[in-house]
Amino acid sequence: MNRRKFLGAIGAAGLTITGAGKVLAGEKPVMGAAVKDIEGLPDSYAVLFDSNICIGCRQCEMGCNQENQLPEPDVDFHDPRIFEQIRRTDWKTYTLINQYDDEAPGLGWLYRKTQCMHCLEPACAHSCFVKAFHKRRDGAVVYDRKVCVGCRYCMMACPFNIPAYEYHIALDPLVTKCTFCEHRLLEGREPACVEICPVRAMEFGTRTEMLNLARRRILDNPDMYVDHIYGEHEMGGTNWLYLSPVPFPEIGMRMDLGTDPAGNYTSGALGGVPIITAFWPVLLVGAYAIARRKDKVAKEERDQYVSRMIAQAGPEVGRKLAERLSKTQELDQAAIEEEVRKALAEAAAKTESEEAH
């Protein structure tokens, strides 16, 4: 199947989506099942970050950069000008420290580390139709570059705005994010960023141990902490947990996510369906990517993917998507529009280039 035929086929599938969904409605959904049975993971590894302790030295950024053999940073790890703006993770920055101006007297600057939260029920995994992400029992949410088709739906689904994309790589760009130092976890070692921190702003242990430690710190020092462990329940819980002396929005953390796991919004027959209705152009590019990477992804997989997408479509889709958007507000409309714009531009450029040849 060449690219033109493939896109034509999937385009036709889109036009007849409701009817096809009815025909195939009995097909077992692919999303959600993989992570449902490990809810809680009390013995998985976790990290507790304490914003009361962090001094903003960015050693953790450097440790991560070295451990993961990432490129040189744009701004040196010792240059304080980095704090002039709030940053987010990108393809060469799996973790970063942002600085927040505390309004309460006496606390001075506050610092907060950002990286993948390693959600117990990750939205990225639920939303990925080729299962490039999965949650491991040791707590890490890991990414399989071999099966990723570059649709970037994980980027849109992540409520913490974490996955980044290698936009600068023309052929086969990949999604990047913190790995929880999965290779170190396999050896029972703490992540590199935790190990290098000179003031132990992060502690490492099981999720149960870290929750108990966090509770003890709050109980012992009620004047120093807000009475909340971020990540204990947010989005169904995460393996990275946070303590703060100020309300979490003051250190850039969302409190509007609720406690329902991502699977509640994306599981079942609706796992990948919002892609079809709301992010059709992105889906199209994702499908195209599968076809393009025919040497890496078997034809059977492509056919299965198309079948699944059709099977999962149905009249419930629009309602569920609207519900999800209003309930969690997890998708930043501007970011989505930007992603769709880029996806369309890429698709157009690729089409032009192919037609020119």
The site for ligand SF4 (CB under 6 A) is made up of 54-60, 63-64, 67-68, 94-95, 97, 111, 113, 115-119, 122-124, 141, 158, 160, 162-163, 177-181, 191-193, 197, 199, 201-202
State both tokens at 141: 């949410």
The angle subtended at Cα 36 by Cα 32 and Cα 41, nearest 5°, is: 140
| Residue with smaller CB distance to ligand SF4, 244 or 291 | 244
Coil, helix or strand at residue 21: helix
Distance CA 296, CA 282 (A): 20
Cβ closer to ligand SF4: 190 or 346? 190
Report the number of secondary-structure helices (H) and strands (E) in the chain: 15, 9
Q: Closest CB to ligand SF4 among 118 and 320?
A: 118
Nearer to ligand SF4, 191 or 286 (CB): 191
Q: Which is nearer to ligand SF4, 25 or 199 (CB)?
A: 199
The answer to whether the CB of 321 falls within 8 A of the CB of 280 is: no
Residue 94 CB, nearest approach to ligand SF4 (Å) = 4
Of the candidates 82, 86, 32, which has an alpha carbon nearest to the alpha carbon of residue 58? 82
Q: Which of 203, 216, 206, 271 is nearest to 50 (CA)?
A: 203
DSSP run (H or E) holding 96: strand 96-101
What tokens were used for 339? 């992603």
CB 314 within 8 A of CB 273: yes
Smallest distance from ligand SF4 to CB 59, Å: 4
DSSP 170: S
Q: How far is the CB of 147 from ligand SF4 (least distance, A)?
A: 16
Task: Please answer whether residues 316 and 17 qualify as being in contact, where contact means their C-beta atoms are separated by less than 8 angstroms.
Answer: no
Integer Cα distance of 329 and 322 in angstroms: 10
Closest CA to 334 of 170, 188, 173, 161: 161
What interhelical angle do 3-15 and 299-312 show, nearest 10? 20
The nearest distance, CB 191 to ligand SF4, in angstroms, is 3
Give dist(CA 54, CA 191) in Å, integer. Answer: 16
